[in-house]
Structure formats: structure tokens, C-alpha cells
Structure 1
Amino acid sequence: MTKLSISSLFLMLVLSYLSDGAIGKVNLKEVDRKLKQLNKPAVKTIQSEDGDIIDCVDIYKQPAFDHPALKNHVIQMKPNFDVKEEKPSTTAESSKLVVSQTWRRSGSCPEGTVPIRRIRREDLLRTNSIDRFGRKPQEIVVSKSNTTNQIDGHSPFINNTKLSFPTMANRSAAVLVTVGYNYIGAKADINVWNPQVEANDEFTTAQIWLKAGPGDNFESLESGWTVNPHLYGDRRTRFFAHWTKDSYKTTGCFDLTCSGFVLTGTEITLGGAIDHISSHFGQQYKITVGIYMYSLMVDFQDPKTSNWWLKYGSDIPVGYWPAATLMSYLKHSSTLVEWGGQVYSPNVKKKPHTRTAMGSGDFASGLFGNACFIRNPNIVDYSLALKYPEWVGAWADEAYCYSAYNYQKSYGTLPVFYFGGPGQNHNCP
């Protein structure tokens, strides 16, 4: 048999296998159905230089309106209120604001459309469950006796009160946290890095969380940057948004991989690669991320129109979560805000530990130019002003793997929160 005929026979066998409709655990017919559901018809298509395809989709035909409760939703085209921002003294170290994404160098979307990163067949073929594509794995709460936390008393103290956080088996976090008020907004400048992710099914983030509800069934709105090869198919640093109504059990997702988040802007796409990355002892880059419930700022008595707006940069509206429809607790306010990093891996809090890094991959003690930082971690309460929280506490699940340090350089300046680490090292075997 010739070499050509052997190749032809192999190709025929592959095509025959695929025609049966399944590859591994994923049914190809289900893949195609899901792709049709996720990828709406494009008015214009942009081929980004980084390999992404950005579809400019009619704003009224975006995935949000696949949600049964949003069939008759009226789009709020822009926020109807701006918060007052306090301007206290900060540290002198300079960093540049990243105001665009890589795809913008290849084109822009016209008015009346929204930019959506196209999901491809290979993205869905990486998942074990089409129905859970784009979701964070469910948080598994375990007792301390089943974990390998290396230090005792790692919980933060806020206003002389020790907070108790559930211990998650598959996540390790290093965060700055505030509680004690009802929050209707949060914002931060987040230093941008490209940390190592050891395995394709792991991810690392630097982000903001706004949460409400019971600890075992909380609601959460989140945004920042991530390196997530399982979701995106590469190890680029990307801007993301995420939500859940039930601790990641059955609701919510990253970006637009499920219906719910309403896009309104043309400048930023969820899941798009960030244009500039910081370097050790070199130029530092940051993104500014803010999440605000503007409707309650205007009328405290009208939660029916409560939308949590996501803003990028100085003042670029990306879109919003319709909380009156999606949420129960968060349609009123958030009761806990966190800023910092998180690593997801089946190999956190056990030995051998994952080598997936958080932040820059350096510990918080490296400070500016080495460690990842969050500057101006502001909240909005019913005073309607962006301000540094009255009470904060720093907390790390595994301080010898990933650390947290709220550093104040001098009296009268705001602290800068540093966090991160390499994962596995001689102190974190």
C-alpha cells in the first residue's frame, strides 16, 4: 500500500469517526448547536493580529437576550450618574494606564453594534461539558483538617474583628477585603502581568469581587485580568468579567459564554487580550476596573432598575449586569468587597503544590516593580463618593505560596496592596 493511500485511509477513518457525532466526551452536534447559540450574526468582523476574531454584533441581537428573563429587557445605553472621587495623596511610583486591547489595532466596531470575541469549535472541544463551558468550577468547601494551609490565623482582622472565611479546596487567594457597610460600587487600578500557568486546566486572576449572600451560596460580580488557557486556548493576559448567583454551582460564567451580561460599548470586548504587560524592574502597566450600581445612586427606593455597570479605564462603559433580573441579594447592594488574586488548581493546598503563579509570580514583599499591586482600592457607599474603605484587612490562604501585604510607604499616603507568588517553592513544596 502506498504512502498516499495509507494517508487517505487514515483520513477516511477519522472522518467516519467524526460523522458519528462525538469526539471524546463532547458530541459534535451539540458543539455546533452551542456555537450557533453563542456566536450571533456579525455586521462586521475584525481579524485581530493576536489571532482572535471579533464580531461586531447588532446590540439588540447580543447573547444577553437569550436569557429567558431578559426577552423584553430595555437596554440602558449609558450610566445615568457619575460618582464623586476623592483625591488623597498616593505613592510616587508611576505606572501607565492601558486604555485599549490588542484587537483595536485591527479595526473598530460601528455604532449600534457591540464587539464580541468569537467562540470557536476548538474552544468547545477542550471542555468536558458543553453545559458548563465558560463557568468557574464550583467552589468546594472543606474543613481545615483536610488542607495544607501552612500558617494558622491567616484570616484578616477588620475593626478588631476576626473574619471567618470558608476554606476552598481548589482555590488559593491573596486579597484585601472590606466589610461592614452596604456597598454600591468598587474600583481599583490593577497592575497587569502575564504569570505562568502550569496546566491547561488551571487559571490565575487579578480582580475585584463584589459579593452578597450566605457564604455557601453567595452572589458575586467580578472583573479584572486572567490567564486561562482552558477557556481561551492560549496563555495571554485577558480582560474578563464573571458573575454567579449560587457560588458557581449552576449560574453565571466568564464574559459572554452564557446569557446575562448586557454589552453597550464599542471600545472593549470581554475576553480580549490586554495590549501591554509589566516587566520586572521595567515599565509598569495597569488597568482601571470599576463596578457601580448607578440606579440606586439616583433613587434608593427603586431597585427594579438596578443595573451593576462595568467600567474600564478612566471612563469607558463596557456594559452591565441587570441585577433586578439576575440577582437576589446583589439587586440591593454588596456587603463584601475583595481586591487581589486567585489561583484555581486541583493542586493548591496539597503536596506537590501547583507551579501556577499569581500576580507577577513574585511575593508581595517585592513591592513596586516586582510584585503585582492594586492601587486606589476604592468603594462607594451611600455617601455616593469613591473613597478608600474605612476598614480593610489583608488575607492569604497560603502565605508561603502566595502572599498579601497592604503597604503604606509614608504617613498621609494611601496604602498600596501587593499580592502574589510563584506557587510551589522550597517553602511551599
Structure 2
Amino acid sequence: MKIFKVAILLLWVLFASCSQLAFNVEARASSHSDREIEAKLKLLNKPAVKTIKSEDGDIIDCIDIYKQPAFDHPALKDHTIQKIPEFFLGSQNLSTFQAFQTWQKSGSCPEGTIPIRRIREEDLLRAKSLDQFGRKPPIHFVKSTNTTNSNSRIFNGSDVYIPENRSKAYLETVGYNFIGAEADINVWNPRVDLPDDFTTAQIWLKAGNGPQFFESVEAGWVVNPKLYGDNSTRLFAYWTTDSYKSTGCFDVTCPGFVHTGQVALGIAIKPISHSRGSQYDINVGMFWDEAGNWWLKVGKNMPVGYWPAKLFGATGLRHSALLVEWGGQVHSTMVKKNPHTRTAMGSGDVAQHRWGEACFMRNLRIKDYSQQLKYPAIINTRAEEPYCYSVDNDVKDGQEPIFYFGGPGQQSPYCP
């Protein structure tokens, strides 16, 4: 019995020693992580001239326009802020019901400053790594056994490869020298299922050599709990110069986008449309200027800012876009798999249910070197997983076409 008690005592001592060692190691790791997080927050959050607390919990910092995060980009060290292009005044936006940003009910930023959503420690802790914070996951292509449903695929000999971690439903136009696009985007708040999932309704302007290497500027609304910490529908902008591999980010979570206006990125927009109820939309447009910059605007003539020409290649978006897409996208490791994610796209209803049920885009416009805003002459509609997320371009005689898209994901009886 005495030997047994001694053995138990020794085990307790050993356990306590190991626990203390583990605690010390964890404490050192935590301390190192804290320093990294503090440095990252300091880099992202510039000193504020004024701070505004939104009723939905967001904090808006009014930052001196010349001290914004964009100028941390090596290519923009000596950048001169560009004048707002006059062509914004020529928008043909016909939207009646406009959504707006919640924070604007709580105040406004002084002249000479721009509004930026403050990044908090908890935002960084949700990211897989500090380097990946604010970025979309890279596109992963896998060999497909189904060549009928995927319209975003590449070929290697006789094999077909599709992007495995995202699913799109969209309308597109392909050509040469697009220098702008816009649309009124119906605003909803779709369900997001898995911790790393997010869902968008957006416009893409692209240039490059296909799905494996392209440059892109993008904008619309997104529900992204991993990035923003809640399930709110938020205005977003994105850019990449290498197909999401290592460049670009959402909003201003990395240097690049030059903020000039009083509309904040990454901020909740209200009101939200409801099934068989009032429908709300927000006009979003991106336009190229003669210096090679891409400007983002919302509403009729409200500039948000621009992506400078120096971010893009001489034969890419610095010159023009070759492809414009309007629609939705779900990012998830469980798209194109069984069981599929239940993350919804658009309103969460299928496109064929149309007005009041499905998410729509209307007043679609492109701009080319004619300098005219017009409906694209040649279009295609595509759904990579039509049994999960569908498309329907509603064309009626004498009326402007309305493009519907979306779906419930695995909640549909036809989605695996």
C-alpha cells in the first residue's frame, strides 16, 4: 500500500511538471502571437482623426486621406491621389430603392479624411494566419468526372479540371477593351453554413490568360462571418493580379485600394430585401480612367476610391478588361461535393422563382471605348452547379432584361 501511495505521488508530481512545462510553452507562444497581432493591428489601423461607433457595433475610424493603408504598398510610396473622374456623372442608374450604410446614421467623417472600418484583435484571431487575413483562398483545381455541369473548367490533354472550393452562377460578356461595368444588385442576407464559408453577389472585371492566371477587380455585397465576425450583409471590394495566389484582398485589409470617398468598405448595408416583401438594391460600378486606374462607385455618382494602375500589368487591367461577370459565388470546401454545403447564394431561393423571391441584378451596363454605357451585346448565363445554384435571364419584349441567380445549396432536394 505504501509503495502504491508513493507511485501515485510521483505520478502527480510528473503530471504537474508536464502541465507547468506545457503552460510555459503555451505562454511563450501566446506572448509571441500577441506581439504579432499588435504589430498587424498597428499596420492596419492608422491613427484616427475622429472615431464613430455604429449602432451595429462596427467602429469607423476617420483617417487622414494621405495616411491611409494604401500607401504602405511598395508601388504606391510616392503615389499622387487622383482626381475623381467626371464620367461618374454620366451614370444611367435607374434604381428606385437604394440600400445605405448603417454607420452613416451615427455621424460623418471630417473633410480631408476617409472612413475605414477598424480591424479588431478578434478579427485577426479568426484568420488561419495573419498573412492570409482578408484574402480569398487560392483556386484549387481537381480532376472532374462530370463535364456537363461545370462551366468554369480548364483542360489538360483529355482531362478536365474544375475549381473545387467555389461555385458560381453568373451572366457574362466576353470581348475586348471593356472599360467599365455596373448594375443594381438586389440586397439579401443569405445563410452561411460552415465556419470558413462565405457568399457574394458581385461584379467581376477580368483580364489575363484564363482561370489559372488573371487580374480582377470585384465589388458587390458579401456575407462572410470568418472575416467580419457576424452574418451581416456588407459592401465589399476585392482585387488580385495573380488569380488570388498572393496578391490582393477584401476592402483595405492590405495595401492597394486608394480610398477617396465617404462610403466605407466592409460595412453593413441596410435595408435587406424580404421574400414577397419590399425589394432593395444598391448600384455598384467599376470604371477605368485614361491613367489606367479602376474606380469604384456606388449609387448614382458616389466614388468610393480606386485601384491604381501601378497594381496591374501593362497588358492586363492597366489597359482594359476582357471579361465582365455579374452574379453570385459561394466559397466553401464543400461545394461540388457530397454532402454539399448548405450555404445559400443570393436570396437563398432558386432563380426561376424570380421577382420577390430570387436575387436579381438589373440595369446591367458595360462601357467600352465608345464611352457609352449600354447593355452588353453578347451574353451567356452559366451555373457551375445548376442543381444547387441556378440562373435565369428574364427577357421580355419592350423591357430591360432582369438577371436572376442563386439557390439554397444542399437545402435543395436536388443538390447532393
- TM-score, normalisation: structure 1: 0.86
Would the alpha carbon gap of residues 37 and 282 (structure 1) be closer, same or farther in structure 2, given more than 3 Å must change? Answer: same
Q: Distance in 1 between matches of 2:37 and 2:361?
A: 39
Deviation of the 1:14 alpha carbon: 12
SS of residue paired to 1:404: strand
Would the alpha carbon gap of residues 311 and 129 (structure 1) be closer, same or farther in structure 2, given more than 3 Å must change? Answer: same
- Aligned counterpart, 2:108: 108
**Residue 214 in structure 1 maps to residue 183 in structure 2:** no
Deviation of the 1:353 alpha carbon: 0.3
- Aligned counterpart, 1:71: 77
Would the alpha carbon gap of residues 16 and 269 (structure 1) be closer, same or farther in structure 2, given more than 3 Å must change? Answer: farther
Would the alpha carbon gap of residues 37 and 15 (structure 1) be closer, same or farther in structure 2, given more than 3 Å must change? Answer: farther
Would the alpha carbon gap of residues 166 and 50 (structure 1) be closer, same or farther in structure 2, given more than 3 Å must change? Answer: farther
- Aligned counterpart, 1:239: 235
**Residue 253 in structure 1 maps to residue 249 in structure 2:** yes
- Aligned counterpart, 1:96: 97
- Aligned counterpart, 1:300: none
Q: Are the aligned partners of 1:138 and 1:248 in contact in 2 as well (CA < 8 Å)?
A: yes
Q: Distance in 2 between matches of 1:18 and 1:271?
A: 33
Deviation of the 1:83 alpha carbon: 6.8
- Aligned counterpart, 1:274: 269
2:45 to 39, 42, 53: 39
- Aligned counterpart, 2:327: 340
Deviation of the 1:28 alpha carbon: 1.9
SS of residue paired to 1:78: coil
- Aligned counterpart, 1:426: 413
- Aligned counterpart, 2:168: 173
Structure 1 residues 276-327: Cα deviation after superposition (integer angstroms, max 9, x where no partner): 10000000000000000122xxxxxxxxx21100001111000000023444
1:226 to 222, 226, 231: 222
Q: Are the aligned partners of 2:354 and 2:404 in contact in 1 as well (CA < 8 Å)?
A: yes
Deviation of the 1:376 alpha carbon: 1.2
Would the alpha carbon gap of residues 153 and 354 (structure 1) be closer, same or farther in structure 2, given more than 3 Å must change? Answer: closer
Q: Distance in 1 between matches of 2:161 and 2:280?
A: 33
Q: Distance in 2 between matches of 1:373 and 1:264?
A: 29
Q: Are the aligned partners of 1:203 and 1:344 in contact in 2 as well (CA < 8 Å)?
A: yes
- Aligned counterpart, 1:201: 196
- Aligned counterpart, 1:398: 385
Name the aligned partner's letter for residue 97 of structure 1: Q
Would the alpha carbon gap of residues 197 and 341 (structure 1) be closer, same or farther in structure 2, given more than 3 Å must change? Answer: same
SS of residue paired to 1:254: coil
Q: Distance in 2 between matches of 1:18 and 1:121?
A: 19
SS of residue paired to 2:201: strand
TM alignment of 1:129-140, pairs within 5 A:
129-140=129-140
Name the aligned partner's letter for residue 109 of structure 1: C
Deviation of the 1:79 alpha carbon: 1.7
Deviation of the 1:153 alpha carbon: 5.9
Structure 1 residues 312-365: Cα deviation after superposition (integer angstroms, max 9, x where no partner): 111100000002344440000000000000000000000000000000000000
Q: Distance in 2 between matches of 1:348 and 1:387?
A: 34
Would the alpha carbon gap of residues 50 and 13 (structure 1) be closer, same or farther in structure 2, given more than 3 Å must change? Answer: farther
Name the aligned partner's letter for residue 416 of structure 1: I
- TM-score, normalisation: structure 2: 0.89
Deviation of the 1:412 alpha carbon: 2.1
Q: Are the aligned partners of 1:85 and 1:387 in contact in 2 as well (CA < 8 Å)?
A: no
Q: Distance in 2 between matches of 1:357 and 1:166?
A: 24
**Residue 20 in structure 1 maps to residue 28 in structure 2:** yes
Q: Are the aligned partners of 1:219 and 1:246 in contact in 2 as well (CA < 8 Å)?
A: yes
Would the alpha carbon gap of residues 280 and 412 (structure 1) be closer, same or farther in structure 2, given more than 3 Å must change? Answer: same
Unmatched 5+ residue regions in structure 2? 1-19, 153-159
Structure 1 residues 188-216: Cα deviation after superposition (integer angstroms, max 9, x where no partner): 00000000000121000000000000121
Q: What is the number of residues matched between the two proteins? A: 387
Q: Distance in 2 between matches of 1:198 and 1:400?
A: 18
SS of residue paired to 2:265: coil
Percent pairwise identity: 59
When the two chains are superposed, the root-mean-square deviation of aligned CA atoms in Å is 2.2
Q: Distance in 2 between matches of 1:86 and 1:232?
A: 32
SS of residue paired to 2:206: strand
Deviation of the 1:258 alpha carbon: 0.3
**Residue 265 in structure 1 maps to residue 265 in structure 2:** no
Q: Are the aligned partners of 1:21 and 1:29 in contact in 2 as well (CA < 8 Å)?
A: no
Q: Are the aligned partners of 1:83 and 1:386 in contact in 2 as well (CA < 8 Å)?
A: no
Q: Are the aligned partners of 2:330 and 2:345 in contact in 1 as well (CA < 8 Å)?
A: yes
Unmatched 5+ residue regions in structure 1? 1-11, 157-164, 296-304
Deviation of the 1:275 alpha carbon: 1.7
Q: Distance in 2 between matches of 1:238 and 1:378?
A: 23
Would the alpha carbon gap of residues 324 and 352 (structure 1) be closer, same or farther in structure 2, given more than 3 Å must change? Answer: same
2:373 to 381, 386, 390: 386
- Aligned counterpart, 1:413: 399
Deviation of the 1:167 alpha carbon: 2.2
Would the alpha carbon gap of residues 382 and 139 (structure 1) be closer, same or farther in structure 2, given more than 3 Å must change? Answer: same
Q: Are the aligned partners of 2:134 and 2:249 in contact in 1 as well (CA < 8 Å)?
A: yes
Q: Distance in 2 between matches of 1:82 and 1:108?
A: 22
Deviation of the 1:16 alpha carbon: 6.8
Q: Distance in 1 between matches of 2:89 and 2:393?
A: 25
Q: Are the aligned partners of 1:224 and 1:289 in contact in 2 as well (CA < 8 Å)?
A: yes
Q: Are the aligned partners of 2:149 and 2:384 in contact in 1 as well (CA < 8 Å)?
A: no
SS of residue paired to 2:39: helix
Deviation of the 1:18 alpha carbon: 6.9
SS of residue paired to 1:96: coil
* Bigger Rg over Cα: 2
Deviation of the 1:17 alpha carbon: 7.2
Instruction: Please say which of residues 277-286 and 326-335 is displaced more in the overlay.
Output: 326-335
